[in-house]
Amino acid sequence: MNPLKIALAFLTRLPVRHVDYNEGDLKASIYWYGVVGLVIGGILWLSQAILLWIAPLLNPAIAAAVLLGVWVLVTGALHLDGLADSADAWLAGGDRERTLAIMKDPRSGPAGVASMVLVLLVKFACLQQLVATAPALLLLAPSLARSLMPILFLHTPYVREAGLATPFRDGLDSATSYLQAALLALMWWWLMGVSALLALLLVGAVFGWLRRLMMQRIGGTTGDTAGACVEILEAVALLGMALAVA
């Protein structure tokens, strides 16, 4: 279970003990990203249940705000940082080298701040709908976006010489990459029924579009663009689920 521990330690701020960061397990940890998404979703679902137990008539907007805060705290805003860096780079970059240079700048510009606000607003609005009508679907919200990361790195070159995603640059197992994503998609279908198709199609279409943007601008992906991908796909997944249960 060491690869799962590595994935939990990297993608969340949950306390994880006795982690061995050897090269083989670091590479295998990416296949557990979808499972970590389910853990995050489980925390959201449990938080929602506790909120409604404490205050059964709590306004869905207040519940959504609290859940969004829990979501950001659990993940340490890891992918939000990648979203902000990518948005700044795409707006001001122009060519490949300048885009990559801007993404390394730790400061956030107007585009970065605006992108975070917009994504969080979409999540907040969709969480209100799900809390009020289908709270069990909170389990799914963070999972599918993360399960697509192995597929992203499988088909998209990693363009940094060194970085957090360096262990994945030498190639991933195709069967394992697609199997873990397929299992998560089946779980969506099991919980949502035919209405899951809308959410899955939206996520798949936006994933393909984002990968195309990465290839056109920088010829591959980085840790920042992968993080941006996760944040945007989470928001799209929530939107698809909210539309399905509306």
Note the pTM of the prediction, 2 decimals.
Answer: 0.94
Q: Tell me if 38 is assigned to some domain.
A: yes
d(CA 72, CA 81): 11
Beta-ladder partners of 158: 221
How many residues are recorded in the chain?
246
**Could you list the residue range(s) of the whole structural domain that residue 60 is in?**
34-245
For the chain of 246 residues, list the mean pLDDT of each consecutive stretch of 10.
94 93 89 96 95 91 96 94 92 82 83 95 96 90 93 90 71 91 93 90 96 94 93 96 89
pLDDT at 161: 75
Q: Tell me if 41 is assigned to some domain.
A: yes
pLDDT at 213: 94
Q: Tell me if 16 is assigned to some domain.
A: no
Q: Tell me if 23 is assigned to some domain.
A: no
C-alpha dihedral sign at 64, 237, 139, 153: negative
pLDDT at 141: 86
Q: Tell me if 9 is assigned to some domain.
A: no
Q: Tell me if 49 is assigned to some domain.
A: yes
pLDDT at 164: 66
Q: Give the three-state DSSP class for 158.
A: strand
pLDDT at 142: 92
- Count of the separate structural domains present in the chain: 1
Nearest-10 crossing angle of helices 2-11, 33-54:
60
